[in-house]
Amino acid sequence: MRNEKLLKDTSILMYVLNAVIILYYCMIVPATTYRICHSFSAYQFISEADRIPMKPMRMPLMAVMLFFVLWQISFRKGRSSAGNRFPVWSVCAVEIIICVLLIESLNFYYSGIALLVLTDLVNDVRNNRVRFLLIGLLTLIFAVGRYEVLPVASSRTPLSVYLEYYKPGIRMFLSGIESTLVSANTLLFVFYMVQLFAGQKEENERIQSLNNQLSDANLQLKKINAEMERMTEIRERNRFAREIHDTLGHTLTGIIMGSQASLALFDINPGEARKKMETVTQSARDGLADVRQSIKALRPDALEKHNLDQALEEMIIKFQATTSAFIRYEQEAGSLDFAEDEEDTLYRIIQECMTNAVRHGHADYIRIRMSKHDDVLVIDIRDNGKGCSSVTEGFGLRHMQERLDLLSGSLTYGNRRDDPGDGENGFYVIASLPVRKKEEEQKHDQSADC
């Protein structure tokens, strides 16, 4: 902030100094011309100059007008909002053209205006290549104007010819003023550039420091996220364990006590023992129903309301709407009429893969292809994200593998560029699952009830 204020103050001081320099030349040439005319020395002046001088008022009118336009461009550029600014290249072109015209209107006596334009433009341009291009171009303009390299510059009447019509003391005084003003402008330019690049270095160091802090914070967030996932997993397991403990503990305690009472009554009162066993059997059925209800509560809500096909389509539509990622869903497996545990596993795998593709891979295109060969369902999920520099099994992949292991399934994954049949950028996950018929699960449940 302090550096920016210093640069702004230096730029303003350079504008004031250049205005004084331009007024200096604009007064010397017309005043000397009128002095020559009033002293009837025009013939002698032309013979010494060996060329026709410019009209006396051309320099003041052109130079002052061009400098005012240049100052207005710089002033309005600094006050305009970001949305109303002109393109940088157009501003650079206009200021450079005005700079050349201004040097020409001053009869090539002064080219330090190029340094002023350079300080004005180099602060607006952030691209280093463009900066160096501007520095080279405006330095060339400065050198051409100062050393009169071009023929058009050398054909003008030198300022020294005008100063010859003053007394030596006045001539030295005027030359001293010119040298002092021009040198001051050069020193201010050097000071401005040193401060600009010093501030740029400090800014780069500050940005690097912020990036390092962000990297550390990101690493900490990853650790916290991993810890939260682990704690969530532990908490969910504990909750589920308590649920099973409370349900099964109560039921099994009743079954044990009822069985012991039935055994005690079996020889004494077989009828009463039979009634007691019927009560124990009903208690076991109720306990099994409670366990199933607890397990069913862990199912996704979408699978409770819809079948698997509808639940997947609804999840994909919502995910596309919230992430703006395009998802191509190819369902070639026919009817998705599977057992509940299989439906849960399929739903969670697709959900986890989409989430990982966007969160970790920053993908904007995901293809989900579901096919069935005999009784094996294959889910092939691929994205166009950045993939993984090193493929490691995190919580999500491990959880998918655990789910599939319980159902005798398999899971393969990796970067698409490492897949011989693919080679594109991104990540792929292929899950294979031998599916059962829903009727088989119902038969299994009924045999458990009997």
β-strands 326-332, 427-434 pairing: unpaired
For the entire predicted model, the pTM comes to 0.46
Query: Measured between alpha carbons, how far is residue 261 from residues 250, 256, 275, 281, 387 in Å?
Result: 17, 9, 11, 13, 64
Q: Mean pLDDT throughout 191-206?
A: 80
Last residue of a domain, one of 243, 272, 296: 296
pLDDT in tens, 332-363: 888 887 888 888 888 888 888 888 888 888 88
- pLDDT at residue 108, rounded to an integer: 81
- pLDDT at residue 448, rounded to an integer: 45
Greater pLDDT, 414 or 202: 414
- pLDDT at residue 43, rounded to an integer: 61
**What DSSP letter does each residue of 157-175 carry, written as one string?**
PPHHHHHTTS-HHHHHHHH
Q: Is residue 184 part of a domain?
A: no
State how many domains the chain has: 3
Question: By three-state DSSP, how is residue 325 classified?
Answer: coil
d(CA 60, CA 431): 83
Residues 339 and 380 in one domain: yes
Q: The domain that contains 408 carries what CATH number?
A: 3.30.565.10
Q: Mean pLDDT throughout 197-225?
A: 82
Which long-range contacts link 71-80 to residues 24+ away (Cβ below 8 Å)?
A: 71/15, 71/19, 73/98, 74/15, 74/120, 77/124
Domain coverage including residue 335: 301-438
pLDDT in tens, 368-404: 999 988 888 999 999 998 888 776 777 678 888 888 8
Confidence of residue 243 (pLDDT cuts 50, 70, 90): low
Last residue of a domain, one of 121, 141, 165: 165
pLDDT over 70 at 437, yes or no = no
Phi, psi angle pair for 107, to nearest 5°: 65, 25
Residues 11 and 150 in one domain: yes
Residues 289 and 324 in one domain: no
Question: By three-state DSSP, how is residue 378 classified?
Answer: strand
pLDDT over 80 at 262, yes or no = no
pLDDT in tens, 128-140: 787 788 888 888 8
Residues 144 and 230 in one domain: no
8 Å CB contact between 134 and 95? no
Confidence of residue 4 (pLDDT cuts 50, 70, 90): confident
- pLDDT at residue 147, rounded to an integer: 66
Element of type H or E holding 326 = strand 326-332
8 Å CB contact between 69 and 98? yes
Residues 398 and 418 in one domain: yes
What does the mean pLDDT of the chain come to?
79
pLDDT over 60 at 450, yes or no = no
Residues 369 and 306 in one domain: yes
Residues 289 and 254 in one domain: yes
Residues 243 and 101 in one domain: no
Residues 286 and 322 in one domain: no
